[in-house]
Structure 1
Amino acid sequence: MEMPYLDKTVPEDFGKIKHVGTDLQGNEIYALGTKDSHLGNLLDDMANIQGISDQYVFLSTSQYVNTILRIGGWLSRSASLPFLGRPLVVRGLRQAYPALCSMVGLKFTQGKVQQ
């Protein structure tokens, strides 16, 4: 699993769309750090207004940020202790990964978006 921005973001990165990869069907995947805002809803609404909502899927992963991820992220980025924080972030991601996969699986069936 590639995670090009893992533990490399800074506060100025929030609100910026970053390309993180391509899925098996060739769809490009982007990430948007929003903290706790509703910026994802705004993007969804804008796609609807433009009539292109069928070309995009917006998934919020905030609910999958567990306590271990939060503590690890804080230690690594805010407390400048990456040697303590990164292992916790990896552990938290490993715990969250199955649920994230399930969420994506619920949204997609054989490459088509569930409406």
Structure 2
Amino acid sequence: KNEEYVFHMNPTASQMATDRRKSGLIDFHESFAKSIHKQAYKVSDTLVEVRMIVDRSSVEIFVDGGKYVFTDQVFPSEPFSKLEIASKSAPFHKDIKVFLVNTIWTKDE
């Protein structure tokens, strides 16, 4: 279905952003998911810590222990199942841990 939610960090521009324009159902309101959410951030000399929590209809991103936060609603037609991490310029250290959380929803809901 080519649905995706994108989190992007650009240290050169001191900016990070989320893009949910292709995240699934977005046409229920004219202003929903029409733009990219951007936020400035101060680049540090240390590694950046990113924690991302994804559930059925939301994505929360905490950068550097919550110093920077994004919260977005998403409505994918199927649960997101792929994580891709890439760097266009500098090499980076990947220490990735994925934790699955049991759903509170039953099949009847």
TM-score (norm: length of structure 1): 0.27
TM-score (norm: length of structure 2): 0.28
Higher strand share: 2
Higher helix share: 1
